[in-house]
Amino acid sequence: MSKEKILEATSELIRAEGIEGVTTRKIAARAATNIALVNYYFGSKEQLINEIVKRHLESFREAFNVLDETKIPPIARLKQFLLSYSSLLSEHPELVKRLLSQEDLFESHAQYVDFLKRQGFEKLVNTVTEIVGPTSREKVLLMIEHMFGAIFYPIVIRSSLNPTINASLMSTSLSREAQIDLFLGCYFSQFQTEP
């Protein structure tokens, strides 16, 4: 029995039942192992969940790396970031709820918030500033807030709604990429130069 199998089983349980629904017994059953082996590898359920959260948050952190690729035009970098980050939000709705609740339940959560404050958010500010040109930081922050509201907030809402409501109120036939293109086209078109 590998640690990876236990990690995979835990990740599946978190997606299916939420962090509160995960027990060591359920993890062991899903991984087809025993509780003692789960505890041997990870020490406790909390340490195991922290490891899962850490891995998922590393994916979120890596999404910001595209914003460093200055050879790519800034609007294309921003689009890649939005596609990647929104996909991660959809894949990990339970984690998103934890991040938004601002509960420091896990060490990895605190590390991610620190990354956002020190680096991630500044990468976004710099990329948006490249697109719109010199302007006040306040205006750039408001633009980022609008972007988060338009792109990320619907994903969070959809993940927390009753499926019946979700299907009737929050559905669209547009792909995520088409939605992002629509937003970027409407919001940043005045800053685009003709080739």
pLDDT band at 128 (very low <50, low <70, confident <90, very high): very high
Residue 15 parent element (H or E): helix 3-17
Model pLDDT, residue 125: 95
pLDDT digits (tens, 9 = 90+) for 141-164: 999 999 988 888 777 776 665 555
pLDDT greater at residue 37 or residue 113: 37
What is the share, in percent, of the chain residues with pLDDT greater than 90? Answer: 44
pLDDT band at 118 (very low <50, low <70, confident <90, very high): confident
Q: Helix 74-91 crosses helix 153-160 at what angle (to 10 degrees)?
A: 10
**CATH architecture assigned to 1-43:** Orthogonal Bundle (1.10)
- Does residue 172 carry a pLDDT above 70? no
CA pair distance 58, 177, nearest whole angstrom: 23
What is the share, in percent, of the chain residues with pLDDT greater than 70? Answer: 83
Contact 97, 119 (CB under 8 A): no
Model pLDDT, residue 169: 54
Domain ranges of the chain: 1-43, 53-191
Rg (CA), the chain: 19
User: How many other β-carbons are positioned within 10 Å of the β-carbon of residue 192?
Assistant: 12
Model pLDDT, residue 102: 56
Residue 148 gets which letter from DSSP? I
